[in-house]
Amino acid sequence: MTTIKDIADQANVSTATVSRILNNDPTLSVSDDTRKRVIEIVNELNYKPLRKKSGKTDKPNENFNIGVIMLNDETIDPYFQSIRLGVESTCNQYSLTIATTMMVGKSTITAESLSGLDGLIVLGDVDIGDLKEIYYENNHIVAVDYLPQDSHVDVVISDFEGATQKVLNHLLELGHTDIAYLGGRGMVFGVSRQKSKEKEDTRKMTFEKVMKEKGLYNPDKVLIDEWGPTSGYTLTKQLIENAQLPSAIVVGSDPMALGVLRALHEANVKVPEEVSVFSFDDIEAAAFMNPPLSTVKVYGDEMGKTAVKLLFDRLKGRTIPLKVTIPTELVLRDSVSVKK
């Protein structure tokens, strides 16, 4: 069976160029000769895409096959599980069938493996430009929990900027001025995970911006490592050992906060009497930690549901890309108190 890669190799262009020519992408800048050569090769090889080039359909009951591409391990951060479950619970309502679920770094993601899929929902920091190199339906992609530079795909994100501002305002109102931030590295990965690039995490950027505006910023108390409990534990131990323990710690995720609380407990630092801890996600375990964790509720399930709605709308003919920002909510529990 002829693939887009076969055409690209023979025409000496990228698979993305072939895809965009076949899709009549108006933003593509190629010579008429190149465009003509690609079309001639398509005809010579009798290439037949497995779906119509247009996602628009007048058949109300037509079913679409989609793929879900994941980056993050759900066992480390249940937040991404909530997004996936939101996707899965909504597909049937919109005549979408999840034909395949792939994890970057563990699944072989190629043009062939994506062939025939009407659309993709991508969870996490996956390089959309890299993905477009191998995926035929370039604009039938919804990026979830990641804001790509590509402005031609739909995006669903949480309002981490507004949430971080609310967290800091709450801590400041309680009298905390010595506040640390512990978070994970922002990385964007290619579909094979063999190439990556750094990106700034919105929570970290907002924390630094607000603290600088207040004249309270201390770079020694902004510590970044991998996401997860182990890093939360290690970074907190670092603060303790360097005698830099603040009166409050903002943690980038609930799983990291697990490690933070463990390190503070081992050092006989009382929470919240000596140190307040505020986190992000509101995973199910947050309410059962010791003490129960104050956190930002992120509506992962709603992000997944919204992604499905956007993809369906795109498949039915919408051409204008949309960006949807899901609001968050502060959940106040026992890990935060007034500064003593």
Fold agreement between 64-157+300-326 and 160-185+199-298: yes
What per-residue confidence (pLDDT) applies to 55?
44
CATH architecture of 160-185+199-298: 3-Layer(aba) Sandwich (3.40)
What per-residue confidence (pLDDT) applies to 75?
67
Distance CA 94, CA 62 (A): 10
Tell me the β-bridge partners of 224: 183
Distance CA 316, CA 322 (A): 14
Look up tokens 């480390």; give the residue.
Answer: 76
Element (H, E) at 293: none
Contacting residues for 229 by C-beta, under 8 A, at least 6 apart: 255, 256, 258, 259, 262
Strands 64-70 and 141-144: unpaired
Q: What is the pLDDT of residues 236-288, one digit of tens each?
A: 999 999 998 999 999 999 999 999 999 999 999 999 999 999 999 999 999 99
Q: Is 138 helix (H, G, I), strand (E, B) or coil?
A: coil
Q: Provide the edge-to-edge strand list for the sheet that holds 154-158.
A: 96-103, 64-70, 119-123, 141-144, 154-158, 323-326
What per-residue confidence (pLDDT) applies to 38?
83
What per-residue confidence (pLDDT) applies to 34?
85
What per-residue confidence (pLDDT) applies to 53?
42
Q: Does domain 64-157+300-326 have CATH number 3.40.50.2300?
A: yes
Q: What is the pLDDT of residues 153-164, one digit of tens each?
A: 999 999 999 999
Q: How far apart are the first and last CA of the chain?
A: 71
Distance CA 119, CA 50 (A): 12
Helix segments in the chain, DSSP class H = 4-11, 15-22, 32-44, 78-91, 111-114, 128-132, 160-173, 202-213, 229-241, 254-266, 300-315
Distance CA 281, CA 181 (A): 15
- Overall residue count recorded for the chain in this entry: 340
Tell me the β-bridge partners of 144: 123, 156
305, 326 in Cβ contact below 8 A?
no
Q: Where are the domains of the chain?
A: 4-44, 64-157+300-326, 160-185+199-298
The residues of the chain scoring below 70 in pLDDT are 1, 23-28, 48-61, 72-73, 75-76, 138, 193-194
329, 296 in Cβ contact below 8 A?
yes
